[in-house]
Amino acid sequence: MQEKIIVTGGCGYIGSHTVITLINHNYEVVIFDDLSNSNLKILDRIQKITGIKPHFEQVDLKSSEATHAVFKTHKDSKAVIHFAAHKAVAESIHNPLMYYQNNLFSLINTLKAQQDNSIKHHIFSSSATVYGNPSQMPITEDAPTQRSFSPYGNTKKMAEEILEDFTNSQSDISVISLRYFNPIGAHESGQIGEFPTAIPNNLMPYITQTAAGVLEKLMVFGNDYPTKDGTPIRDYIHVVDLAEAHLKALQRLLGPKSQPLEVFNLGTGNGYSVLEMIKAFEAVSGSLLNYEITDRRPGDVPEMFASTALAKQVLNWEASRSLHDMIQSSWTWEQNLRKGLK
Ligand code: UD1
């Protein structure tokens, strides 16, 4: 019998890649998504790649009634992978209540519905942003979490605190929280990637859109950081590696060694500066990128890269795709989008 897994936000960037990995490993997937930052065409893409169209429920998880109803329909599910959340840092600074309301209500309603329907396993999409400006590299999971510069970041930190209190209570639900470093890249089929809805905040889509001529110029936010070339260092990870980590986390939760709450970094352990990313992109695309150094962006920290030891030891997972794979797949995806793949 196939095990049924609920994937909230399964039409989104990381969610859709994870759905493909789950289907390819013979799980039955049902997606809950409000389509606020995604669209239904993704289901056909998933079908094209895997041969299976996942079951889909359009639902607003901010509503406790709607959440209750949809979970009741799918109470035979074994676990929830909870991606559904807003993620634009700048938007969260302008509209913090929208972020607290969406990201925290949806988590609370989901956990309550899991409790009511005895769905005992939960994987949470967290972020390395919970570490704030960490003092030691590589960052290990026991590094202190810090109040974030942005409401978005704070929703992730608060969500982890909610999960800690929840799993400390009488709850028999076990949770794995996955702290993503900087996900980039796209599916090797060229069919699935990140669908940009506004001008991107993040580096990689900004680079590819500049190279594609959609944006005029990449602004490099500061070259006076205490790093090798003065630009900030991040741990970029291929989205398909990230998807595979969710599979491993799920297997752990469903297996005999499941713990009440575990937290893992998902990164490669390698740090690249902004200028190194630009150079690597130029090498892959074969053309020069139009960029200019400008002022620092508020909230940016000099350096972030993961210790990958815990995920390797406990989940038996490590990232396998190279920086070249990440950049090549991002660029192929961008070009496919521009060719009219909508
Ligand atoms: C950002 C968010 C973080 C969030 C993550 C995932 C901030 C301060 N941090 O992480 O909370 O979890 O995205 O969405 O927004 N850069 C440029 N020019 C650009 C864009 C980026 O120089 O146009 C630089 C940044 O200064 C940074 C690096 O590229 O040094 C990576 O930026 P980005 O992709 O936005 O990721 P983070 O800042 O690490």
Half-sphere exposure of 17 (CA within 13 A, CB side): 23
Whether the pLDDT of residue 51 is over 70: the answer is: yes
Q: Which pLDDT score is estimated for 282?
A: 98
Report pLDDT for 342. 56
pTM (two decimals): 0.97
Q: Whose CA is nearest to atom 16 of ligand 1?
A: 203
Q: Is the pLDDT of residue 125 over 70?
A: yes
Query: In 3D, which of 17, 62, 86 has the Cα closest to residue 246?
Result: 17
Residues 260-302 pLDDT 10s: 999 999 999 999 999 999 999 999 999 999 999 999 999 999 9
Closest CA to 13 of 215, 175, 204, 298: 204
Nearest C-alpha neighbor of 84 from the set 99, 65, 68, 71: 99
Q: Tokens standing for 167?
A: 């799993």
Mean of the per-residue pLDDT values of the chain: 96
Residue 341, pLDDT > 70, answer: no
Residue 340: pLDDT band (50, 70, 90) is confident
Strands (E) across the chain are located at 4-8, 28-33, 55-58, 79-82, 121-127, 174-180, 182-184, 218-221, 233-234, 236-238, 261-266, 272-273, 291-294
* Protein residue whose Cα sits closest to atom 22 of ligand 1: 220
Position 170 scores a pLDDT of 73
Tokens of 110: 């989901």
Please write the tens of the pLDDT for every residue from 149-174. Answer: 999 999 999 999 999 999 999 779 99
Nearest-atom index, ligand 1, CA of 277 = 29
**How far apart are the CA of 201 and the centre of ligand 1, in A?**
7
Tokens 């309603």 sit at which residue? 109
The backbone region for 26, taken as left when phi is positive above 0, alpha when psi lies in -120 to 50, beta otherwise, is left
Percent of the chain whose pLDDT exceeds 90: 94
- Around ligand 1, the residues with Cβ closer than 6 Å are 87, 89, 127, 129, 150, 152-153, 182, 201-203, 206, 218-221, 232, 234, 274, 297, 299-300
Is residue 128 helix, strand or coil?
helix
Over residues 244-251, mean pLDDT: 98
CB atoms < 10 A from the CB of 151, how many?
Answer: 21
Alpha carbon of 212 to ligand 1 centroid (Å): 20
CB 193 within 8 A of CB 338: no
Residue nearest to atom 1 of ligand 1 (CA): 202
What pLDDT, on a 0 to 100 scale, did the predictor assign at position 114? 97
Query: What's the 199 CA to ligand 1 centre distance in angstroms?
Result: 13
- DSSP per residue, 222-269: -S-SSSSSSS-EE-EEEHHHHHHHHHHHHHHHHSTT--SEEEEEES-S
In angstroms, rounded to a whole number, what is the distance separating the alpha carbons of residues 303 and 131? 11
Across residues 58-62, what is the average pLDDT? 98
CA of 297 to the centre of ligand 1 (A): 9
| Closest C-alpha residue for ligand 1 atom 30 | 232
* Ligand 1, pocket-test mutation among 214, 221, 237, most atoms within 8 A of CB: 221
| Ligand 1 centroid – CA 104 distance (Å) | 22
Atom of ligand 1 nearest to the CA of 221: 22
- Region 226-241 average pLDDT: 98
Confidence category of residue 198, pLDDT binned at 50, 70, 90: confident
- The first and second tokens of residue 35, run together, are 């389509």
Q: Which atom of ligand 1 is nearest to the CA of 183?
A: 6
Query: Which residues belong to the active site?
Result: 152
Q: Are 61 and 82 in contact (CB under 8 A)?
A: no
